[in-house]
Structure formats: structure tokens, C-alpha cells
């Protein structure tokens, strides 16, 4: 296949026109759902890993009265966030190397971002490190409802969540292996369907959207075949950091 | 698709109001999901035009997506 498209899908206008600044299915729908289940106290310290332009950090501060901070490796997205809301606590950094102390956070959110990280295992270990014992990890992400299609997605010459989608078993296993107890997972594929529908209405077809994203450098038939095989869905996972007795 | 919709704009008029159809914001719903889209609409009575191209093009693709097929 062709070499990967250099501009990540989440930085581009074709998807932002439909998702707005949250750049994920459902916008704040699952953020609200997760926060209702986690019941953070006002002022709780919460990290948004892969915060992009900081829409969720701003939302957590203004709508949920949390002491939120965001980290993202994209200078372009961080700059957009700072321009939109000067003083928003956004830091440049990778999920695999979080610039925070051990046990500093009451909660960590990774909304549609684990799948775009180079090393999700390392990122989950970092999320665990910066959380207090009993702290909440909130993951929402694209997953492959047909595990047999995962390898085809990984081979796609794209940068974005689709390429990094895992099966639900693999995702839950990775979370558990890094020191978490999975409290619940829920399928929210409907939200992904609605995002795709929005992309079709905005661009005319998914083929046209993929053409926009890749600059027609990738055969959109390859992408659509991989999608058909993997049957991407969307999931919310809530997990708690298992107490280690060291804190 | 967009080009055909622009062409349609100059062709269609509302039979009831005798007014040309013009692009306007419309909310379309399917299987419990709603989407704001711009479609040709009568500025008088609000009648919305969905051309065959539109129905068999992106609207059909949206329906299949929401049907999860």
C-alpha cells in the first residue's frame, strides 16, 4: 500500500467541519455519561490525554467545575485552543510520556485518542502512574467489532483512529494489563454512525470524504473495504486504578 | 452532487406558491437520528425538495450507515 498520509485526520478541516472542536463521535455525550458515573467532586484534578484544541478541558472546567488540564502532541491544535481560550491549561506532550507527577490525578480521560497513539500500552501505563489509587480512567474509542478485520485497518496508509482500532477484547486486556479494573464498557456505535452520516451529508459520500482527507493519494476502495471488514464501532470504557498499597 | 443541487435550484419552483425553491436549513431524521442539512425549500410554504439524485445518493448512503449494514 501507499505510504501513510502525513497530516493526521483529526487535524484536518474535512472532519472538524462535522465534529467541531471535540473531534470525536458524540461530542460531549460520552464525556457527560462518564462523569455522571464517576461522580468526581468539584475541583477534582482531571487530565484529558490527547486534548487537541482543548474543547473538553474547557468543558470540564466550565460545566463540571473540575480542575482540568490537557496534554496533546500537536502544536497546531494546542495553538488553536490557546487562541480560542487564552489561559486554558494545555500542555504539549505525548500520552506515552505524561508531564505529571505520580498519583496527581483523580481522573484521566482519553477520548478517541488511545487509537491514535504510537504506543497505547505505554500510554495506559502512564495514565495509571499519574492516577491516584482508585482514580478513574475514562476511555472512549473506535474499536473493530469484527476482530478479524483489525490487521487490515492497521495496514491502512492513514493517520487516525481507524488505523489504530483494536478489538474490544484487546482493548480491555490492555487496560487490565496496565493496572486497572474495568468497571464497565458500553457500546455506543450509534454515535459513530451519526458522525459518518454527518460526513456523508457534508461531503456528498464517504468516498468524497476519504478523497478530501488523503488528497486522493489513497485508493478509497481500500479504505472502504477495510472498514466493511472490520465493522468499526465506538465504545465507552470506565476503569479504576487498582490500589497498590504503595501510596 | 453539489453541482446537480445548484442546477436544481434554477429549475424547480413550488407549484403551490409559484416561488423558486431556494437553499435553506432543514433537519432530516432517520431511525431516531437528526441532521441539519441545506436543501432546496420553498420560501413560502416551506415545502422541501428531495431530488432523485439526492435520495439515491448521499441520503441512501446515510440510511445504510444508520441501519448498520
Q: What is the pLDDT of residue A100?
A: 97
- Please state the pTM of the whole predicted model: 0.87
pLDDT at B69 over 70: no
- Which residues in chain B have Cβ-Cβ distances shorter than 8 Å to A205? 1, 57-58, 61
Domain boundaries, chain A: 13-241
Q: How far is A14 from chain B (nearest CA, A)?
A: 16
CATH 3.40.50.10310 fits A13-241, yes or no: no
pLDDT, tens only, A8-65:
667 677 888 888 888 899 999 999 999 999 999 999 999 999 999 999 999 999 999 9
As for the ipTM of the complex, it is 0.78
Domains of chain B, first to last: 13-65 (3.10.20)
Test the A interface: residue of B65, B66, B67 with most A CBs within 10 Å: B65
d(CA A214, CA A208): 10
Say whether A208 sits in a helix, a strand or coil. Answer: helix
Sequence-distant contacts of A66-74: CB under 8 A, at least 24 apart: A66/A40, A66/A42, A66/A107, A67/A43, A69/A45, A71/A47, A71/A95, A71/A98, A71/A99, A74/A8, A74/A11
pLDDT, tens only, A19-30:
888 889 999 999
Q: How far is A54 from chain B (nearest CA, A)?
A: 25
Enumerate residues 10 to 69 of chain B having a beta carbon within 8 A of any beta carbon in chain A. 33, 35, 37, 57-58, 61-62, 65-66, 68
Q: What is the pLDDT of residue A246?
A: 55
Any idea of the CA torsion for A53, A55, A61, A65, to the nearest 10 degrees?
-150
- Which residues in chain A have Cβ-Cβ distances shorter than 8 Å to B23? none
The torsion angles phi and psi of A75, rounded to 5 degrees, stand at -60, -35
Question: Do the beta carbons of residue A33 and residue A140 sit within 8 Å?
Answer: no
Q: How far is B53 from chain A (nearest CA, A)?
A: 11
- Which residues in chain A have Cβ-Cβ distances shorter than 8 Å to B33? 190, 193-194, 197
pLDDT, tens only, A191-221:
999 999 999 998 999 988 888 888 777 778 8
Amino acid at each position: 500500500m501507499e505510504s501513510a498520509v502525513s497530516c493526521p485526520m483529526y487535524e484536518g478541516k474535512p472532519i472538524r467541519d462535522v465534529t467541531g472542536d471535540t473531534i470525536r463521535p458524540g461530542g460531549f455525550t460520552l464525556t457527560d455519561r462518564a462523569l455522571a458515573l464517576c461522580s468526581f467532586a468539584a475541583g477534582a484534578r482531571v487530565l484529558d490525554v490527547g486534548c487537541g484544541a482543548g474543547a473538553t478541558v474547557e468543558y470540564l472546567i466550565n460545566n463540571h467545575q473540575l480542575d482540568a488540564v490537557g496534554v496533546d502532541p500537536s502544536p497546531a491544535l494546542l495553538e488553536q485552543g490557546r487562541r480560542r481560550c487564552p489561559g486554558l491549561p494545555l500542555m504539549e506532550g505525548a500520552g506515552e510520556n505524561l508531564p505529571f507527577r505520580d498519583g496527581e490525578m483523580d481522573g484521566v480521560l482519553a477520548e478517541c485518542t488511545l487509537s491514535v497513539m504510537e504506543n497505547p500500552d505505554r500510554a495506559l501505563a502512564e495514565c495509571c502512574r499519574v492516577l491516584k489509587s482508585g482514580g478513574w480512567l475514562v476511555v472512549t474509542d473506535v474499536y473493530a467489532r469484527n476482530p478479524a478485520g483489525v490487521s487490515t485497518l492497521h495496514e491502512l496508509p492513514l493517520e487516525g483512529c481507524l488505523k489504530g482500532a483494536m478489538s474490544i477484547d484487546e482493548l480491555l486486556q490492555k487496560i487490565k494489563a496496565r493496572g486497572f479494573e474495568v468497571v464497565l464498557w458500553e457500546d455506543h456505535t450509534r454515535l459513530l454512525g451519526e458522525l459518518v452520516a454527518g460526513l456523508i451529508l457534508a461531503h456528498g459520500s464517504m468516498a468524497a470524504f476519504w478523497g478530501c482527507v488523503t488528497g486522493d493519494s489513497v485508493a478509497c476502495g481500500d479504505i472502504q473495504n477495510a472498514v466493511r471488514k472490520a465493522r468499526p464501532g465506538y465504545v465507552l470504557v470506565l476503569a479504576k486504578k487498582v490500589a497498590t498499597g504503595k501510596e | 452532487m453539489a453541482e446537480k443541487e445548484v442546477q436544481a435550484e434554477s429549475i424547480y419552483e413550488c407549484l403551490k406558491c409559484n416561488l423558486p425553491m431556494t437553499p435553506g436549513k432543514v433537519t432530516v431524521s432517520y431511525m431516531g437520528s437528526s441532521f441539519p442539512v441545506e436543501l432546496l425549500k420553498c420560501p413560502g410554504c416551506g415545502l422541501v425538495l428531495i431530488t432523485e439524485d439526492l435520495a439515491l445518493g448521499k441520503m441512501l448512503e446515510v440510511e445504510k450507515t444508520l441501519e448498520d449494514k
